Chains A and B, each alone.
Chain A
Amino acid sequence: MSATGWAWVVLLAPLAGTLVIALGWRALPGRAPGWIGTGAITVSFAAAVATLLDLQSRGEEERQLVSSAWDYAKTAGVDAELSILVDPLSVLMILVVTGVSALIHLYSVAYLASDRGYARFFAYLNFFVFSMLLLVLAGNFLVLIVGWAFVGAASYLLISFWYRRTTATEAGIKAFVINVVGDVGLVLGTYFIFQGTGTLDFLGSFEAVQDSFGRNDGELVAGCCLLLVGAFAKSAQIPLHTWLPDAMEGPTPVSALIHAATMVTAGVYLIARMHPLFEQAPAAADVGAIIGCLTLVVAATIALVQTDLKRVIAYSTMSQIGYMVMGVSAGAYAAGLFHLMTHAFFKALLFMAAGSVIGAMAGTQDLDRMGGFRRSMPFTFGCFVVGGLALAGVPPFSGFFSKDELLLLVGDRGGWHWILYGFGYLAALLTAVYTFRMIFRAFLGEPVAEARALERGELHHAEHHTNPATGEQEDTDVGFPGPEHHIAERAPQMRAAMAVLAVLATVAGLLQIPFGVTHLVDGFLEPTFAESELYERNPSDGQIGLGLVLGALVGLGGIFLAHLIWVRKPGTSAALRARLAPAHQLLARKWYFDEAIDILVVRPFALAGRFCQQVFERVVVNGFFVGGTTGAVRAGSAAVRAAQSGYLRLYAALLLLGGGALTLYFLIASS
C-alpha cells in the first residue's frame, strides 16, 4: 500500500474505534471499551509508521502526496473535495499524535477504571484523536476547518466529561466559546486567501500566493492575522488563553492528551503549514512572534504562584506553546516542530505523573496540601523529575536541545528578534523555578497524611467525595468521578505508558544535536519547507555554543533557585510573598485577564443582549412587527366580517345586485 493508503488507515482506525464503542457499549463487557480504544489508536500508530517508511523510500521531490476520496463540489471556481495531504510535516504530526495518544489511552484504561462513564470516555477520546488526525492530514482548507471544529467539539465533550460538576460544564462551555471565536477567525482567514488565490487546495494556494498577492499585501496580512486568531484560540495564546487553565477540570488523561500534547499544538501546526503565506506577509508573522513571546513570559510568571498542581502544568503548557508559536512565526520551523514533539512527550509525562499524585491524594489537586510523596511513590517521583528536567531544559534531556535550537534560530533573524531571544531565556529560568517548585512541594518535605498512609501500603480514600475546586459534596455515579483512585505504583498500564514516555522525554533530544552531529528532524522536514527562504540557516558555532551554555546554566540555575527557596530555607517563599504582595496578587489573579475579558467583552455583550431583550425585542419586534401585523389583519378582518351578517335575503340581494351590475357593464361595453 502506498503512503496515502496508509494515511487513510491512520485516519479511519480511530473513527472505527469511536463507532464500535459508541454503538456497542452495552454489549461490551468490563474494560473492553478501553482496550478497543487503545487498540484502534495502536493500529493507527502502526499505519503512521508505515506511512513514514513509504514516504522515506521516495525521492525528496516526491514527498508531497495528495489523495482525494471524492469531490464534494467542483463548480464555479470552488474545489471542495475530501483530500488529504501526506508530506513530512503531516507525517510528523500523525506520528506524535497517534503515538502519544496510544500511550494515554493505555494510561486511561487503568486511571478511569472505576468511573461509571468508562465507555463514553473512550468513545470521546477516540473521536478526539480522529478529529485531530483529520486536522493535521487535511489537504485543503475545508477539511482543515472541519477537523478544527471537530477538535473543539471533542475538547468540549471531554472537559465536561464529569457533567454533573457545574465547574466542569462551565469550563467546557468557556473552552468551546473561545474556540468558536478561533473557528470564525480561521473561516474568515480562509475566505481572504481563497479570494486571492482562487483555490482551497493547500499546495495550489501556496503556489499561487506569490502571484496573487504582493509582499505584505493588505488582504493577505488580514487573512493571515485571522488565521492567527484561529491559531491563538486553539493554542491558548494571549488574549484567547483563559480557557486552558479552566480546562483542567477534565480528567487528567484528557489534560495530558488534549491540553498538553495534541490539540493545543494545532495552532503551531497551522502556522507551520501556512508558512508560504506567512513568508509573503511578514507583518502577520511578526504579530505571531510577538504574541508568542508575550504569552511565554506571562504564562511562566503566573505558573510561579498557582497552587493547583494541574493548573501550574497548564500554564507551563501555555508558556511552552508560546515558544513554539514564536519559533514557527519567526521562521524556525523545524525547531518549533521539534519542540512540539519533545514537549508532547515530557508534558504528557508530567500530566500522567500529576494524575498519579492526584490519585494518591484522592482527587485533591492543591499543592499546599501535598508533600513528601518521594518515598511512597518512587516511580511517579522519578517520572515527574524526568519530565521536570526536560521541561526545565537541563542537558541532556530533550527539552534542552529543542528549546535552545528554537531560541537560537529566532535570535538569528537579527534586529528586534534578539529581544525575543532574551525573553525566551528569562522565561526558561522561570520555567525551571516553577517546575521544581512543584516537585519540591509535592514530593519533598514532611510526608502528609496521605503519603504516610501510602507508605503503610494503603491508598487513601476520601470519606466523602467532594469537588476539589469548590468543596461541594458529590456521589460517585455517572457524571462524577468514580469511587476509586488509581496510582502508577499500583497499575501496570499506567506504569507502562509513563515509562515509555519517560524514555522518550530523555532521549528524543538526540534526534537533533547541534554542531551538525545529528539533524534528523531538520532533514526529515526539508521537503515540506523546500521553497522557504527562512529554512536553511547556519548560525555561527559561537552562537550555538553560547546558546547551549546559557540554556544549561539557566536550567540548572532555576533548579538551584527553587531548591534555595522551597527546600533549604522553607520560609523564603512566604517572606517573598509578603514583601512583594502587589506582584503576588497580580500573578495569583493571572494578570487580571479574566477580569479584563469580562469587562471588555462579556459585560458589553451581556448589556447589549439585555438591551435587545428588554427594549428591542419588546418595543420593535413584539410591539411593531408582531403587534402591527396582527393589528392590521384584525382590523381588515373586522371590516370583512361585517358583511357576513347571516341574513339570507341580504346575500341574495347582493348576489342579484352584483349579477345585475355585471350584466349592465357588459351591455354598455358591447354597445
Chain B
Amino acid sequence: MSISWYLVVSAFVFCIGAAGVLVRRNPLVVLLCLELMLNAGNLALVAFARMHGNADGHVFALVVIVVAACEVTVGLGLIVALYRRRLPIDVDRMRELQG
C-alpha cells in the first residue's frame, strides 16, 4: 500500500481534531480533540518510519504518547479543580488573563 493512504488518514484525523479544538467549548472535549491531533501526528510518524525502514519514527511516536499522557493528567487535574471550585466549565468564560 502506498504511503499516501496513511498520510491522508492522518491529515483527516488531524483536521477533525483541530476543528474540535476550535469549535467546542467544553474543556474535556477540547482535551479529547487534542489527543486526536497528537495521534494523527503519531500515525504519520509511524508511517514514515515504515517507509524508511528504521525505528526513528517509532521512538518519536513513543515520546509523543508519553507527553500526551502527561498533558492529559495536567489538563484533567485543572478541570477537576475548576469543578471543585464551582467555576463554569467553559473555555470561553475562562478569560481572566487578557490584556
**A645 contacts B91, C-beta separation under 8 Å:** no
Is B95 engaged at the interface, CB distance under 8 Å to the other chain?
yes
How close is B98's CB to chain A, nearest CB, in angstroms? 3
Across-interface contacts of A648 in B (CB, < 8 A):
30, 91-92, 94-95
**B99 contacts A642, C-beta separation under 8 Å:** yes
Across-interface contacts of A644 in B (CB, < 8 A):
97-99
How close is B93's CB to chain A, nearest CB, in angstroms? 10
**A649 contacts B22, C-beta separation under 8 Å:** yes
Across-interface contacts of B30 in A (CB, < 8 A):
648
**A652→B95 CA distance, assembly (Å):** 14
Is A641 engaged at the interface, CB distance under 8 Å to the other chain?
yes
Chain B residue with Cβ nearest A642 = B99
How close is A139's CB to chain B, nearest CB, in angstroms? 67
Is A646 engaged at the interface, CB distance under 8 Å to the other chain?
yes
Using a Cβ–Cβ cut-off of 8 Å, how many residues does chain B contribute to the interface with A? Answer: 14
Closest 8 pairs (CB-CB, A-B): A646-B95, A646-B98, A644-B99, A641-B99, A648-B91, A652-B21, A653-B22, A644-B98
- The residue that B18 contacts in the complex, of A643, A646, A647, A656, with Cβ under 8 A, is A656
| Cβ proximity bits A468-487 to B, threshold 8 Å, 1 near / 0 not | 00000000000000000000
Using a Cβ–Cβ cut-off of 8 Å, how many residues does chain A contribute to the interface with B? Answer: 13
Chain B residue with Cβ nearest A660 = B18
Chain A residue with Cβ nearest B98 = A646
Across-interface contacts of B23 in A (CB, < 8 A):
649
| Cβ proximity bits B43-70 to A, threshold 8 Å, 1 near / 0 not | 0000000000000000000000000000
Chain A residue with Cβ nearest B91 = A648
**A646→B90 CA distance, assembly (Å):** 13
Across-interface contacts of A642 in B (CB, < 8 A):
99
Across-interface contacts of B91 in A (CB, < 8 A):
647-649
Chain A facing B: main interface SS:
helix
**A652 contacts B99, C-beta separation under 8 Å:** no
16 contacts between A and B (CB under 8 A): A643-B99, A644-B99, A645-B95, A646-B94, A646-B96, A646-B97, A646-B98, A648-B92, A648-B94, A649-B21, A649-B22, A649-B25, A649-B91, A652-B21, A652-B22, A653-B22
| Cβ proximity bits A524-539 to B, threshold 8 Å, 1 near / 0 not | 0000000000000000
How close is B9's CB to chain A, nearest CB, in angstroms? 18
**A624→B6 CA distance, assembly (Å):** 63
Chain B residue with Cβ nearest A656 = B18
- The residue that A656 contacts in the complex, of B22, B25, B92, B94, with Cβ under 8 A, is B22
| Cβ proximity bits B1-33 to A, threshold 8 Å, 1 near / 0 not | 000000000000000001001110100001000
Is A640 engaged at the interface, CB distance under 8 Å to the other chain?
yes
Across-interface contacts of B97 in A (CB, < 8 A):
644, 646
Chain A residue with Cβ nearest B37 = A656
Chain B residue with Cβ nearest A644 = B99
How close is A608's CB to chain B, nearest CB, in angstroms? 46
How close is A554's CB to chain B, nearest CB, in angstroms? 90
Chain B residue with Cβ nearest A653 = B22
**A645 contacts B98, C-beta separation under 8 Å:** yes
Given A656-B18, A656-B22, A647 and B95 contact (CB-CB distance below 8 Å):
yes
How close is A510's CB to chain B, nearest CB, in angstroms? 92
| Cβ proximity bits A627-662 to B, threshold 8 Å, 1 near / 0 not | 000000000000011111111110011001000000
Chain B residue with Cβ nearest A659 = B18
How close is A538's CB to chain B, nearest CB, in angstroms? 94
Chain B residue with Cβ nearest A641 = B99
Chain A residue with Cβ nearest B33 = A652
Chain B residue with Cβ nearest A649 = B22
**A640→B98 CA distance, assembly (Å):** 11
Across-interface contacts of A645 in B (CB, < 8 A):
95, 98-99
**A649 contacts B98, C-beta separation under 8 Å:** no
**B95 contacts A649, C-beta separation under 8 Å:** no
How close is A559's CB to chain B, nearest CB, in angstroms? 92
Q: Which of A335-378 contact B (CB under 8 A)?
A: none
How close is A644's CB to chain B, nearest CB, in angstroms? 3
